[in-house]
Chain A
C-alpha cells in the first residue's frame, strides 16, 4: 500500500466532527459501522482506549433501583446464552444459570498490587480452602504484552520518558496557527502553500527555537527542500526503523495520538466548504509528515539523554484466579482437580467484564424498550381522534418539540400537529439580511443547489454600524499595547459594570446589552423553479398526511437555539438543517405553499390546497421557548384573527413546555410556578455563568414514524422523535422509504453521539465544559494546549440514558424488510443493531421487534398506564425519566400516577 492509502485508511478512524460553528450530530463510531454494534464498541474500545458501555457499578445501581429488573436479566441471558442443561463442572451451575447468578452479583476484583496486598495482608482468601490452590495451579500464565509498533511507545517503554510530551505542544501550536480562523492578529506566513511547506518555511530557517530536541531540525528541513509529503513520511518511518509491515499500524497510531487535531486537518481537507471563515489548504499527509519528522527528532533526543528505565517484572495474572475463587465460593462449586479448575477458570473468563457489561446493557435497554412499546400499544386503544382542526402546526420531528406539540394539543384540542424533518424539504444555501456569507440549511448529506437570500422590502440607507465597529475596536484593541492601556484606564469602570451585571443580574444585563434594533421588513428571494417548489410542498403534504384536510391556518415551525457561554451552541440547533436554525426553511416552505403557481401545480397532481388556507412560517427557540413568526403582513385579512388565536395557543404551549423542561434543571425549584418557567428558561439562555443553557437532545431514545392520531395524548417525556407518516397515502411504500432514508440515519446519529459521549465522557465526549478554551474559532481544548476535543460536553449529556434508538414505524414487517433491504445505510444500522427497529401494525394491535435478523412479535408485559388530564400531573415534582402515561383531557376519572 502507498503512504496515501495508509493515510486514507487511518483517516477513517479520526473524529468526523467539523468546526464547531455548524455542529452535525453523527455516529461517533462511523468508522466501525460495518460491524455489529456490540462488536464495534469492543473493537473501538481497543483502538481508542475508550469504554464500550456504562461501567458495571452503574448497572448494579440500576439493578438496585429497579431500573433493570431480574426479569430483564433472565430474558437477556435466555436469549444470549445457549443452555444444554449440563453443569459446566460437576456439582456446579449450568452455563445459563452461571450467567444469571454472575450478573446479579458484583465481585470486586482488586487489580495488580492491590490484589497482592489483599492476599498478603488480609484474610480475604481462606487459606484452608483447597480450591484456592487448585485454581492457582490451573491459572494460565500472564498474557503477552500487546505489540506496539509505534516508535514512541518503544521509547517510552525503554526510558520512561514520553517523546509525545515534546512533540505535541509544538504540533498543537503549529496546527492551530495554521488552521486559525481569526483569533490571532497575525496570520501565519506561507500558509497558502500548505501545512508542510509552511512548516518548512518557518522552522527550516536558522536561529529557530533552541529546544534541545529540535537541534538539527532546520538543516534537515532545508535538505528536504520541496520533497513531497509522502516521501517525507516514508523517510521518517525508515529513520525510525519502522518495518514495512508495521507502517500501517504506525501511521494509524501516530495520527490517533492527537486525533482531534488530525481529524480537524482532515475535515479542512475533505470539506473546505465547512470552514467557518476561510478554507486552508490542509492535507492530512502534510500533517503526518510534520508529526513524524518531529517524532523522529524527539525519539532520538530522548534515547540519547534519558537513562533507561527500570524493568518492572509483570506480576502473574492472579485477578482471574481470585475472581474464579470468589465465584466458586458464591455458587458453592466443588473444584476437586486440575481439569475442573481449569474449566471453571475458562467459564469465569468467558463472562469477563466486557461481556457482563454487554449483557447488563441489553437488559437495561430491554426495560426501556418494553416500557415504550407497551405504552404505545396501550395508548392506541385510548387515543381520541381529533375533530375538524381549527389550525394545524408542522414542527420538526425533533424530540424537544414533542412536549410543545403535546401541550398545544392539550391547551387547544382543536389543534392538529405534524412532524417532519426540520428543513421541510427546502434544501438551500441561505443568506439572511445580516449574514456575511451564505450557509447551507439542509441535512449534511444533501448539497443544496439553490440560494435563498433575505432582502429588505425598502432598500433604505445602509445601517451605520457604529456600535459594532466600537465593539470590534475594543475587543481587538484591548489586547494590544497602546490601545490596550488606553482601554484599561478608560474602560475599567465599564468592565466592572459588565461584571456586576453578568455575575449578579444576568437577564437584565443581557437585555441591556442586546437592545433589539428596529426590525426591517424583509422578504425571501428564492431561486427555486415552480416545479421544484411544487415537489417540495407536495412531498411534505403527502408524507405527513397534512394534505388530507387542511385547516385555514397552517403554522410551519422550524427551530434553533441561542445561548451564551456555550461553544457547543450549534449542537443545540436543528440537525435536519445541518446544525443551523430552521426558521428560514419554515419561512421558505410557507412562501412556497402560498404561491398560486405552486398551488395550481399541486391541484394538477391531485393535492388541493383550499382557497381559504394560509401557511405561516415560524421559528421556535428551544433554549428560551420563544416564538417568532414571518411574513405576517401577507396574511389575508380574514385569517388574521384565527392566526392570532393559533399564536396565543402556541405561546401558552411554549410556557407549559418550558415548565416541563425546567424540571430537569436542578436550579429550578421542584414547585416552580408555570408562569415563572419562561423566565427561568431565559435565564439559562442568556447567563454567561450557565454551562447548561438547555439539555438539547439528552434523554432521546425513541423515534415513532406514523400517524399522530396514534400517539396524540401519550406522554413521551420529550424523549421521542415524532415523524408524521400517513400510510393511507402511501400505497407502494415509496414515501416511507424516502422518509426512513432521512429519519433513520439522522436520529441514529444524534442518539449514538449522545450514547458515546455519555458512556465515555473523556474518551468520546469532550469532558467537562468548565476549562474549555476556544481555539482558532474551530473547536475547544481542555485548558492550555491540549488535543482538540470532539464529541459532546458532559454538561450537555449528564441526564442522558444511554440506550440505542428504538425506531417504531407504523408499517408491516414485510414492507419494512423490503425498504431496509433496498437501502444499504438503513440495512447496516438495522441489522448491525445500531438502532432497534420495530414494526407497528395498529390495525392488528401488534408490534414486531427486529431481533437476530427477523421481526419477532413483542410480548406485552404491562397494559395499564396512568391516565391524567394534563401533562403536569405526570411530571410534577420529579427530575427523573418518566414512563408513558395517557394525557386525556376527556378522562372522567383520572387514574393517578403511581
Chain B
C-alpha cells in the first residue's frame, strides 16, 4: 500500500513533467495524446487512492528533508475522499477539455497546467505534515493563477490572474508562518490564527474574496474545476486537516465561525445582484464554502466534508453548463409554461425603499470590499515607493561622495 499511496501523488507529477518535457523539446504530440496523459494520470491517481482506502488509514514516511522536518504522506478518512474526488474531477474535466479546447493554440499549455494543478492538489490533500502541504499549496496557486491568465493577450485575464496570485501570496504568509511557529512549538492560538489566515485567501473568504469572481477569465472547464470545486475547497480542507492543532485554542473555532459566517452572508447578498452567470456562480460558491467553514468551526467535521464534496461536484457541473444558459432558460420557460421570474418578490414587498436602494448598491458594488482593499493596497504601494525613492536618494548621495571619474566610468 505504501507504494500505491506514493504513486497516487507521483503519477500526476509524472504527467506534468512529461507534458512539460514534450513542450520543452516541442514534440509534435497530438491533442489526443496530450489529453490522454492528463486524463489518465488524474484517473489513475483517483483509482490508486480508492485502492488505498480499502486498507484503512496509512502514514508513509518519505524520509526527512532535514533534521526535524519529516516528509510524510497520510491517507485517512479525510484525505482519501477529497483526493479521490480531486482526481476524478481532474480526469472528467480533462476529458471534457479535449473537446472544448480542440484546435485552441493553448491546448497543450492548458493540459500541462491542469496536470500541475491536480498534482498540487493531491500533494496538499495527502501531505502528512504542514511543510509538505506548503509545497503542494504553492503549486496549486501557481497553476490556478496561470489558468486565470490563460488568454494572456488580453489585459483582463492578466490583471485578474495577478490579482489572484497576489491574494494567494499574501495569505501564503499565514500558512508558512503557521509552519514555522508550529516547528518552534508556538502556542496553538498563534498557529490557528495563522492557519486561518492562510486558508482565507484560497477559500476566497471575507474580506479576501474579491479575486474569485475575477478568476472567471480562463476557459470554462478550468473555472469549473478551480473556482467551482477544488481550489476554493482547499481552504476548508486545510482547517479540517489541522483541526487537532488549532482546536485547543478556544478563540480559533469562534473566529473560524465568524469568518465563514461573514463570508456566507456577504456573498449571498452580493450574489443576488450579479448579472453574469459566472460571477453569480462564483458568489454562490463563496457562500457555500463560507458555510463549510462555519461547520468546521463548530466541529461538525463529517457534515463539513460531505458538504464540501457535494458542493464541489454540484458547482463544477453548473459552471460547465453555464454557456448553455440561454438554451436552458428558454427550455425551462417552455417547460414551466410561464416566465421563469426572479426571486425578488418578497424582497420588494418587505424591505422599505431606502434600505432596498442601499442594500442593492451594496450588493452591486460587491460590498465595497474592493474599493477598501485596493485603497489600502495603494497606500501600501505608496509607502513602498517612498522607501524605494529614499533608498535611491541615499545611493545617489553616496555615489556623489565618490570622485568624478569613477562616476563617469559607472555611467558608461
A residues apposed to B, CB below 8 Å: 20-21, 173-174, 176-177, 180, 182-190, 201-203, 205, 207-212, 277, 432, 434-436, 462-463, 465, 467-469, 471-472, 475-476, 478-481, 484-485, 487-496, 498-500, 502-504, 562-567, 569, 666-667, 687-692, 768-777, 781-786, 795, 798
Contacts and interface: CB of A to CB of B under 8 A. Distances in A.
Contacts of A773: 216, 276-279, 322
Contact of B99 (A212, A465, A476, A689): A689
A173 B310 contact: no
A492 B309 contact: yes
Given A481-B268, A488-B311, A775-B276, A566 B327 contact: yes
B102 interface: yes
A515 B221 CA distance: 26
B334 A434 contact: yes
Contacts of A689: 96-100, 221, 320
A139 to B, nearest CB: 31
Interface of B: 88-89, 92-93, 95-104, 150-151, 154, 156-157, 160, 213-221, 264-265, 268, 271-281, 283-284, 287-288, 291, 303, 306-307, 309-318, 320-330, 332-344, 347-348, 353-354, 356-358, 360-361, 363-365, 368, 371-372, 374-375
Chain B CB within 10 A, most for which of A183, A184, A435, A489: A184
Contacts of B278: 773, 783-784
Contacts of A185: 271-273, 342-344
24 contacts: A176-B275, A176-B276, A183-B277, A184-B274, A187-B344, A203-B361, A208-B365, A436-B334, A465-B335, A472-B332, A475-B332, A481-B264, A488-B314, A489-B307, A492-B309, A495-B315, A495-B317, A565-B321, A688-B321, A691-B99, A768-B151, A770-B220, A775-B275, A785-B279
A492 B313 contact: yes
Contact of A502 (B96, B341, B347, B368): B96
Contacts of A469: 336
Contacts of B265: 481
B275 A184 contact: yes
Is chain B's interface secondary structure helix, strand, loop, or mixed overall?
helix
A783 B217 contact: yes
Nearest to B95: A503
Given A210-B375, A690-B99, A784-B213, 9 more contacts: A189-B360, A202-B357, A436-B338, A479-B284, A495-B317, A692-B102, A768-B151, A771-B157, A784-B156
Nearest to B278: A773
A183 B98 CA distance: 29
B316 A495 contact: yes
Contacts of A177: 273, 275, 364
A500 B320 CA distance: 12
B157 A783 contact: yes
B322 A491 contact: no
Contacts of A480: 268, 284, 287, 343
A503 B287 CA distance: 26
Nearest to A569: B327
B310 A491 contact: yes
B332 to A, nearest CB: 6
B277 A184 contact: no
Nearest to B290: A481
A419 B230 CA distance: 53
A774 B310 contact: no
Given A210-B375, A212-B375, A490-B310, A564 B327 contact: yes
Contacts, number: 298
Contact of B323 (A182, A190, A774): A774
A784 B216 contact: yes
A451 B395 CA distance: 82
Contacts of A471: 332, 335
Contact of B316 (A208, A499, A687, A784): A499
Contact of A503 (B92, B277, B325, B372): B92
Contacts of B337: 434, 436, 462-463, 465, 468
B317 A498 contact: yes
A786 B317 CA distance: 24
Contacts of B357: 189-190, 201-202, 205
Is chain A's interface secondary structure helix, strand, loop, or mixed overall?
loop
B235 to A, nearest CB: 16
Given A173-B364, A471-B332, A770 B310 contact: no
A55 to B, nearest CB: 16
A478 B284 contact: yes
A676 B95 CA distance: 22
A177 B265 CA distance: 21
Chain A CB within 10 A, most for which of B100, B307, B354: B100
Contacts of B216: 771, 773, 783-784
Contacts of B156: 782-786
A785 B103 CA distance: 26
Contacts of B264: 481
Given A463-B337, A773-B276, A210 B371 contact: yes
Nearest to A692: B102
A490 B341 CA distance: 25
A798 B100 CA distance: 15
A469 B276 CA distance: 22
A294 to B, nearest CB: 13
A531 B100 CA distance: 52
Contacts of A189: 353, 356-357, 360
B273 A186 contact: yes
B313 A493 contact: yes
A488 B229 CA distance: 12
B39 to A, nearest CB: 10
A663 to B, nearest CB: 16
A688 B276 CA distance: 19
B327 to A, nearest CB: 6
Contacts of A277: 339
Chain A CB within 10 A, most for which of B88, B271, B283, B303: B271
A202 B357 CA distance: 6
Contacts of B271: 185, 479
Contacts of A491: 310, 314
B32 to A, nearest CB: 10
Contact of A481 (B213, B287, B332): B287
Chain B CB within 10 A, most for which of A186, A435, A667, A785: A186
B268 A183 contact: no
Contacts of A182: 329, 339-342
Contact of A688 (B309, B320, B344, B353): B320
B104 A187 contact: no
A202 to B, nearest CB: 5
B217 A771 contact: yes
A498 B319 CA distance: 12
Contacts of A498: 317
Given A177-B364, A798-B103, A774 B325 contact: yes
A777 B314 contact: no
A542 to B, nearest CB: 37
A472 B315 contact: no
Contacts of B273: 177, 184-186, 188
Contacts of B342: 182, 184-187
Nearest to B316: A499
B284 A209 contact: no
A478 B318 contact: yes
Contacts of A692: 102
B275 A183 contact: yes
Nearest to B308: A488
Contacts of B371: 209-212
A289 to B, nearest CB: 19
Nearest to B306: A489
B326 A502 contact: no
Given A475-B332, A490-B310, A689-B100, A481 B291 contact: yes
Nearest to B220: A770
A502 B221 CA distance: 12
B335 A499 contact: no
A484 B288 contact: yes
A494 B93 CA distance: 17
